[in-house]
Amino acid sequence: MSQTLSGKVAIVTGAGSGINLAFASALLDKGCNVVFADLGLRPEAQEVVGTHQSSARGRGRAVFQKTDVRDWSQLEQMFVTAEREFGRIDIVCPGAGVYEPTFSNFWCPPGSSGSHDSVDGGRYAILDINLIHPIRTTQLAISRFLNAKQPGNKTIVLISSTAAQDTSIATPLYDASKHAISGFVRSLGDISSANIRIAAVAPGIIKTPIYTDNPEKLAMIDARDVWVEPEEVAAVMVALIERDTMSEKIGDYSESGDISIEGGIILEVTKGRARPVTAYNDPGPSGPGALASNMAASEQAARNMLRPGWGFPHSRL
C-alpha cells in the first residue's frame, strides 16, 4: 500500500504553520505537488510557497487555497483547486487543529468573554476544526479516490495526539477531539481493500506556534521538558505514505523495520522515536517529549472555576 511521492498531489489543511507546514515542505522536496489549504500563511509558509511556484529541479509545486475548514463548501473547493491545478489527488491530510483556544474553550462557555461560540450557535468551533473537518475531508477524499481516473494507492493522514491517550481537566474539548480522531482512524483501517490507506500520527510536545505564540499554553511546559520538532513528525507522516515498514528510530529506514505500517495505524511521535499506539493495553505516552509536565497551574485554574455562577449567565434556562 505504499506509494512514491514524485509527481503525486497532496492537499494539506493547516499548512500555513507548524506540523502541517513541515509536512507540506517535506512532500514538496520529494517532488509532490501540494495544495496549502489554510486561512492564511505565516511568513515561513509564504516563503515555502513562493519558492515552489514551479516544479523545477524535481521539486513539487505549491498552490495556496484560502480555506476556513469549518465551512464544508470551502473543503470541497480545495479538492476542486487540486484537480484544476494538477489533475489528480493522491494524498490528503486534514491536519488543521487548535489547542483549547479561548475563542472555543470548555471553560469559556458560549457567550462568555473571549468566546466566539454563540449561545444560539449549536456548535463549538474547536470541534468543527479538530473533529468535524477531518471527518468531512476524509469523506470527500474517499469519494474522489474511488472515482479517480489515475490508478494507484491513495493515502489519508490525520493528526491525533498523545492527549488521545491521556486527559487533563484544563483541555477537555481538545482531549475529546483527539480521542475521537484515533477511534475514527482505527474504524476505517479496512479501507485498504480500495487501495486507500488511512493512518495517523499522535505527536507529543511539538515546538510550534500552538505553544510558542500562546503564553497560557507555553506555561504548561516545564524547563526540563523536551521539544519534539515539527520536522520529526513530518518525517513519520511521510513514512506513513512511502513505506510499509519503518524503525522506531525516526529516520532509520532499514529494509525490515520493526513497525509494520497498515491501515488504521496510529504512531505516537516523541523525541526521535515513533511507536504504534495499540487500541488495547497500551502503556501510554512515554519518553522525552511525550507530555507537558507543568499542567498543574492550568488544571488548578480550571478547578477554581467550579463554583456557583460559572456558565449560568450564558444559559437560556
CATH code, domain with 113: 3.40.50.720
The number of beta carbons lying within 10 Å of the beta carbon of residue 154 is 26
pLDDT at 1: 67
pLDDT at 314: 54
The pTM of the full predicted model, rounded to 2 decimals, is: 0.94
Instruction: Evaluate if residue 2 carries a pLDDT over 90.
Output: no
* Domain-embedded: residue 197: yes
- What average pLDDT does the segment 302-317 reach? 78
C-alpha cell of 190? 479496512
Instruction: Evaluate if residue 44 carries a pLDDT over 80.
Output: yes
* Domain-embedded: residue 255: yes
Instruction: Evaluate if residue 222 carries a pLDDT over 90.
Output: no
Average pLDDT, the chain: 93
C-alpha cell of 304? 477554581
DSSP string, 172-235: HHHHHHHHHHHHHHHHTGGGGGGTEEEEEEEE-SB-SHHHHT-HHHHTTS-TT--PBPHHHHHH
pLDDT above 90 covers a percentage of the chain that reads 77
* Domain-embedded: residue 252: yes
* Domain-embedded: residue 183: yes
pLDDT at 199: 98
- What average pLDDT does the segment 185-202 reach? 96
Strand boundaries in 243-308, DSSP class E: 245-246, 259-260, 266-270, 273-276
The number of beta carbons lying within 10 Å of the beta carbon of residue 80 is 10
* pLDDT tens, position by position, 237-267: 999 999 999 999 998 877 667 899 999 999 9
pLDDT at 228: 92
pLDDT at 218: 79
* pLDDT tens, position by position, 270-300: 999 999 999 999 999 999 998 888 888 889 9
Residues 6+ apart with CB under 8 A from 47: none
Q: Of 292, 308, 313, which is closest to residue 170 (Cα–Cα)?
A: 292
201 — pLDDT class (breaks 50, 70, 90): very high
Q: Which residue has the higher pLDDT, 191 or 257?
A: 191
* Domain-embedded: residue 3: no
pLDDT above 70 covers a percentage of the chain that reads 97
* Domain-embedded: residue 317: no
* pLDDT tens, position by position, 108-164: 999 888 899 999 899 999 999 999 999 999 999 999 999 998 888 999 999 999 999
Q: Cell 495544495 belongs to which residue?
A: 35
* Domain-embedded: residue 316: no
pLDDT at 175: 97
Residue range of the domain that includes 49: 9-307
* pLDDT tens, position by position, 73-104: 999 999 999 999 999 999 999 999 999 999 99
The number of beta carbons lying within 10 Å of the beta carbon of residue 121 is 11
Q: Tell me if residue 245 falls in helix, strand or coil.
A: strand
Distance CA 244, CA 212 (A): 34
Q: Which residue has the higher pLDDT, 21 or 210?
A: 21
Farthest-apart Cα atoms in the chain, separation: 64
The number of beta carbons lying within 10 Å of the beta carbon of residue 262 is 15
* Domain-embedded: residue 54: yes
Q: Of 253, 289, 252, 254, which is closest to residue 268 (Cα–Cα)?
A: 289
Query: Using the 8-state DSSP alphabet, how is residue 312 labeled?
Result: G
313 — pLDDT class (breaks 50, 70, 90): low
Query: Using the 8-state DSSP alphabet, how is residue 98 labeled?
Result: -
Q: Of 128, 296, 282, 106, which is closest to residue 202 (Cα–Cα)?
A: 282
pLDDT at 85: 97
Q: Please state the domain count of the chain.
A: 1
C-alpha cell of 296? 498543574
C-alpha cell of 79? 479538492
First vs last C-alpha separation in the chain: 53
Identify whether the C-beta of residue 207 lies closer than 8 Å to the C-beta of residue 228.
yes
